[in-house]
Amino acid sequence: MSSLQPVRGTHDLLPDESRRHRWVEETAFACARRYGFGEIVTPIFEFTEVFSRTLGETSDVVTKEMYTFADRSGESITLRPEGTAGVARAFISGGLAQSLPLKLFYRGPMFRHERPQKGRLRQFHQVGVELLGVETPLADVEVIALAWRVLSELGLGDKVQLEINTLGDGESRLAYRETLTKYLVGHLHKLSEDSRNRLDRNPLRVLDSKDEGDKRIVEHAPLMTDSLTPAAREFFAQVTGGLEALGIPFVVNPKLVRGLDYYCHSAFEFTTKHLGSQGTVLAGGRYDELIATMGGPRTPGIGWAAGIERLSMLVEEPPVSERPVAVIPMGDALAGLAVAERLRRAGLAVELGFSGNMKKRMARANKANARFAVILGEDEAARGAVTLRDLDGGFQDEVPLASLEEHLGRLS
């Protein structure tokens, strides 16, 4: 059994790391609630069509990275590689069009068969939000402001940079598609096979290529900003103006794109230089045509997702949670358990010292970061008392067992 290892690309979250992970997740959820977002929990697997239709049949995620299998009924099932598609499916299948606008927060594991590296796992975790049913630029500003608030409250404001771009409206994208296609055709012989295959169906997908040769060609490609309609320019101006009004720093990155047709207007990423090549910690954008692409009513939407593992690597040590009381029975162990249970019912966290001499039990109390130690010796027990030791101040006193909770309440 000693040879058993976790599956490549998966990772055990032991208590110390799990605490950081949970702090990132709960901080994001607390911020989202303040912005009016409620939590949605979707299944970790869906019918494969949910992702193949939304991520694009030719995308690397669909063709190379999804965990797809046939269940016992012969249905093609996929472990979710991202969260937005499941939320959109829930919106359609749940008949939620009459409940707009909707502000939804999600969290949980995602799955992609990628080459594992720092900050990238095959089972990873995300938090994310989706705002459905609001077409105005203010929605973009609010969603980005929420992302900035989450990162700021995690203490990462000086470690991240907001990059933003506009993908324009439908007319802008059509014009850009023609311009981009003309440029790429001029470099057809240098493009990778994948990009040549994508050129007819969706040339914008070439902009997302991971092939190094494609990246060099794309580096000099025409920019979306050169094809924007006046309406699209005004939309972007209102987004950037809103960010400036809220004091949220950003830089415009005209090369920041999204290859799928249902994306429009705002695309944004928060990046960092503290994680090597895995620089993006939160990414999002507007997707007004996504739900219609999936067969639902046309519903504007904007959202973002953030990788919990990457954020956990960036954050400092989380704030100390409630410090426990160490109960150390040096005589009757069952009496110690009874005292521990009393304190827990009173709302206190309690670490029970099961065995060992006084020195070892006190060492365990200090390792648990206990604030107080309650020592139950045989002599004190005979008097109906305990020794209460302040582990920060070092002083101790004998207190009646009957009023222990009261004493702890005054000292805390």
Report pLDDT digits (tens) over 257-280.
Answer: 886 778 899 999 999 998 876 689
pLDDT at 1 over 50: no
**For the chain, first and last CA: distance in Å?**
46
Q: Are strands 301-307 and 280-286 parallel, antiparallel or unpaired?
A: antiparallel
Q: Are 130 and 38 in contact (CB under 8 A)?
A: no
Share of the chain above pLDDT 70, in %: 96
What is the pLDDT, as a whole number, of residue 58? 55
pLDDT band at 410 (very low <50, low <70, confident <90, very high): confident
Are 122 and 46 within one domain? yes
Per-residue confidence (pLDDT) for residue 411, from 0 to 100: 76
Q: How far apart are CA 337 and CA 343, in angstroms?
A: 10
Number of separate domains in the chain: 2
Q: Look at residue 194 and give its three-state secondary structure.
A: helix
200 vs 244, higher pLDDT = 244
Give the residue carrying structure tokens 């991971």.
Answer: 210
Q: Which of 256, 291, 314 is the last residue of a domain?
A: 314
- Where helices occur in 107-245 by DSSP H, the ranges are 137-153, 170-185, 193-201, 212-218, 230-245
8 Å CB contact between 72 and 115: no
Instruction: Give pLDDT, residue 317.
Output: 84
- Domain-located, residue 216: no
pLDDT of residue 88: 96
**pLDDT bracket for residue 154 (50, 70, 90):** very high
Do the domain assignments include residue 220? no
278: domain range? 15-169+229-314
Q: Which of 183, 44, 190 is nearest to 123 (CA)?
A: 44
Specify whether 392 is located in the same domain as 358: yes
Cα maximum dimension of the chain:
93
| CATH code where residue 406 lies | 3.40.50.800
Co-location of 146 and 275 in the same domain: yes
Per-residue model confidence (pLDDT) at position 106: 98
Question: What is the spatial distance between Cα 269 and Cα 412, in angstroms, rounded to a whole number?
Answer: 43
Residue 195 in domain: no
Higher pLDDT, 369 or 39: 39
107 burial (CB, 10 Å; 0-12 / 13-18 / 19+) is buried
| Same domain membership, residue 156 and residue 28 | yes
Mean pLDDT of 284-297: 94
Q: What is the pLDDT of residues 115-127, one digit of tens each?
A: 877 767 899 999 9
Q: What is residue 61's predicted lDDT score, i.e. its pLDDT?
A: 67
In a domain, 145, yes or no: yes
CATH number, domain containing residue 239? 3.30.930.10
- Give the tens place of pLDDT for each residue, 238-257: 999 999 999 999 999 988 88
pLDDT (tens digit, 9 = 90+) per residue, 205-223? 788 777 888 889 988 888 8
pLDDT of residue 314: 92
In a domain, 188, yes or no: no
pLDDT of 402 above 50: yes
Task: Taking residues 283-305, report their average pLDDT.
Answer: 95
pLDDT at 105: 98
Q: Name the pTM for this structure.
A: 0.88
Residue 40 lies in a domain: yes
**Percent of the chain scored above 90 by pLDDT?**
53
- Is 180 a domain residue? no
Q: Residue 332: pLDDT above 50?
A: yes
pLDDT computed for residue 244 by the predictor:
97
> Residue 158 pLDDT more than 70?
yes
* Residue 197: band (very low, low, confident or very high) from pLDDT cuts 50, 70, 90: confident
3-state secondary structure 63-84: HHHCCEEECCCCCEEEECCCCH
pLDDT, one tens digit per residue, over 48-90 is 999 887 776 656 666 678 899 999 999 999 999 999 999 999 9
> What distance in Å separates the CA atoms of residue 168 and residue 237, rounded to the nearest whole number?
12
Average pLDDT over the chain, rounded to an integer: 89
Which H or E element spans position 411? helix 404-411
Q: Are residues 300 and 340 in the same domain?
A: no
Least confident of 2-16, 58-72, 87-101: 58-72
Within a domain: residue 177?
no
Nearest of 284, 280, 277 to residue 302 by alpha carbon: 284
